[in-house]
């Protein structure tokens, strides 16, 4: 090995991907130690990272070309030694000239002065702060000003970040393509309206407020089911590049806030709405008219109180069949649908705004490949019969769908492209229904069965291999 040219050794090492193998090789010779350290582009460190200045300098010398670094102190206790602090981050940032991607998780010793050191990382493209309790808006503003190449920013559980000067600055700069904010109590969804022209370039946006206990319970507030936030011109900005949007645990009433995005995202491909209060059909209708490229939609819905008539109020989930009809008409590229209904009783189908008729119009109008239904009490064996003729359906997951029985399994067994089936807590499906899949000779079908009350007898021999059946009962 000592006689081989460095270029050839480098090519050999590039073909070794396991970190443990690379660590072992670096101990064989000084040549391998130097070459392996120089070509290491990504590293993940935690409690074993020594924070002494000299040790960090040697660490940076050992890996001079690092492009992606993750520092993760999850599970850290004082007995593990010192964490990376402000001084250490200063050493690290000044010696890693190639750094483009940095993740700091559970780094409780880093505050604004440490974060300001990242302003020297002119090549930094992506920054993720996960549980940074000492960081405030001051430190984040320093990053916004100094890191001129920043295009991705993730803030998770950063409790002290409140004012949004940093957001306004990044909006004026317009360089961000990915912005994720979760569980930052000082940031409200209305604050993002100050992002201004920054929305033009943004491709992924995710905002989630910390989940409260009352989020899944119908409150005393009655929402207007006929209210249309998209007929208003209060917010003059465009987000035509946005492809991935997720909103979770926010209230959009009485102020409009981020619900206005649903009518502005012309390039949207993936939508996730989880327990967003006060949305109605007009929001999905506006979305469908703008987003003909929509490929994936995930809805987590709970009970809310709606009325457009002061004399009558109904408790149901946010959307009705009108939303499904709009999606079926305008979003003909939709391939993935995930619907989950929280707090809805199987004995009260009216608590879910969707009906089976409207749902099947959507399924039959779009090339659905993946379908997930959780607690969908409107869906029964007739729905399974209609699904069985779907020419594109490859993956089906049914959780808490108590209206589906063995009869429905006989229908679904004949779905032409079905390859993955998950059944969870569907109490009226027994081993008889699962056996229908065996009789249909769909030997490539993968089945996951969880907690089916009556599934006790030995299943047909077609499902005896672990590859085709998983049964944690």
Beta bridge mates, 371: 337, 396
Dist CA 373 CA 298 (whole Å): 10
Q: What is the pLDDT of residue 217?
A: 66
What pLDDT, in 10s, does the model give residues 221-280?
Answer: 889 999 998 887 667 788 989 999 999 999 888 777 899 999 999 999 999 999 999 999
> With contact defined as beta carbons under 8 Å apart, do 129 and 155 qualify?
yes
Kindly report the pTM of this predicted structure. Answer: 0.88
Q: What is the DSSP letter of 229?
A: G
What is the number of alpha carbons within 13 Å of residue 437 lying toward its C-beta?
31
Tokens of 461: 């021999």
pLDDT of residue 157: 96
- Residue 350 CA, chain-centre distance (Å), reads 29
Q: Could you give all domains of the chain from N- to C-terminal order, each with its CATH number? A: 1-39 (1.20.1280)
Q: What residues are paired with 377 via a beta bridge?
A: none
Instruction: Say which range, 10-19, 116-125, 460-469, has the weakest mean pLDDT.
Output: 460-469
CA distance 58 to 55: 5
Average of per-residue pLDDT across 91-98: 86
| Dihedral in degrees, nearest 10, Cα atoms 343, 345, 351, 357 | 120
What is the per-residue burial (b if ≥16 Cβ within 10 Å, else e) of 90-105? bbbbebbeebbbbbbb
Mean pLDDT (the chain, rounded): 87
d(CA 167, CA 7) in angstroms, rounded, equals 45
Distances (CA, A) of 363 to 37, 78, 358, 369: 53, 54, 9, 10
Helices (H) and strands (E) in the chain, counts: 14, 19
Share of the chain above pLDDT 70, in %: 90
Regarding predicted confidence, which is higher, 470 or 103? 103
- CA angle 409-412-418, nearest 5°? 130
Does the pLDDT at position 213 exceed 80?
no
Per-residue pLDDT, averaged over 358-384, amounts to 97
Residue 469 has pLDDT above 50, yes or no: no
Question: Which of the four pLDDT bands, split at 50, 70 and 90, describes residue 19?
Answer: confident
Share of the chain above pLDDT 90, in %: 56
Strand (E) positions, 303-411?
304-309, 312-316, 336-342, 370-374, 395-399
DSSP 8-state class, residue 232: -
Give phi and psi for 90, each to the nearest 5.
-65, -45
The whole-angstrom separation of Cα 96 and Cα 98 is: 6
């Amino acid at each position: 090995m000592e006689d081989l040219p460095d270029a050839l050794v480098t090519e050999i090492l590039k073909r070794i991907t396991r970190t443990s193998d690379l660590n072992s090789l670096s101990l064989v010779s000084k040549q391998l130690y130097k070459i392996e350290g120089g070509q290491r582009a990504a590293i993940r460190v935690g409690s074993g990272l020594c924070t002494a200045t000299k040790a960090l300098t040697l660490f940076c010398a050992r890996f001079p070309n690092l492009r992606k670094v993750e520092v993760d102190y999850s599970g850290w206790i004082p007995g593990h030694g010192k964490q990376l602090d402000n001084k250490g981050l200063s050493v690290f940032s000044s010696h890693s000239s190639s750094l483009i991607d940095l993740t700091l998780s559970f780094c409780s010793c880093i505050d604004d002065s440490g974060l300001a050191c990242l302003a020297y990382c002119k090549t930094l493209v992506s920054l993720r702060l996960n549980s940074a309790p000492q960081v405030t808006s001051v430190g984040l503003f320093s990053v916004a000003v100094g890191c001129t190449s920043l295009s991705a920013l993730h803030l998770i559980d950063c409790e002290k970040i409140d004012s949004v000067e940093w957001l306004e600055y990044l909006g004026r700069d317009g360089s961000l393509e990915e912005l994720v904010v979760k569980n930052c109590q000082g940031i409200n969804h209305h604050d993002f309206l100050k992002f201004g022209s920054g929305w033009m370039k943004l491709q992924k946006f995710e905002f989630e407020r910390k989940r409260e206990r009352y989020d899944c319970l119908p409150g005393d507030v009655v929402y207007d089911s006929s209210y249309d936030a998209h007929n208003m011109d209060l917010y003059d900005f465009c987000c035509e590049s946005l492809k991935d949007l997720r909103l979770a645990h926010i209230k959009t009433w009485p102020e409009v806030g981020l619900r206005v995005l649903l009518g502005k995202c012309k390039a949207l491909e993936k939508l996730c709405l989880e327990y967003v209060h006060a949305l109605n059909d007009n929001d999905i209708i506006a979305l469908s008219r703008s987003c003909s490229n929509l490929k994936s939609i995930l809805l987590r819905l709970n009970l809310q109180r709606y009325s457009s008539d002061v004399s009558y109020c109904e408790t149901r989930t946010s959307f009705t069949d009108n939303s499904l009809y709009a999606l079926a008409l305008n979003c003909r590229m939709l391939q993935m649908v995930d619907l989950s209904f929280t707090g809805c009783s199987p004995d009260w189908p009216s608590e879910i705004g969707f009906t089976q008729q409207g749902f099947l119009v959507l399924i039959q109008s779009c090339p659905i490949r993946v379908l997930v239904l959780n607690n969908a009490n409107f869906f029964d064996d007739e729905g399974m019969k209609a699904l069985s003729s779907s020419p594109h359906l490859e993956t089906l997951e049914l959780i808490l769908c108590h209206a589906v029985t063995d009869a429905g399994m006989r229908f679904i067994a004949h779905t032409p492209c079905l390859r993955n089936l998950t059944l969870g807590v569907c109490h009226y499906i027994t081993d008889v229904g699962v056996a229908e899949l065996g009789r249909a000779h769909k030997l490539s079908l993968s089945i996951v069965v969880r907690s089916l009350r009556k599934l006790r007898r030995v299943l047909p021999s077609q499902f005896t291999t672990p590859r085709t059946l998983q049964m944690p009962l």
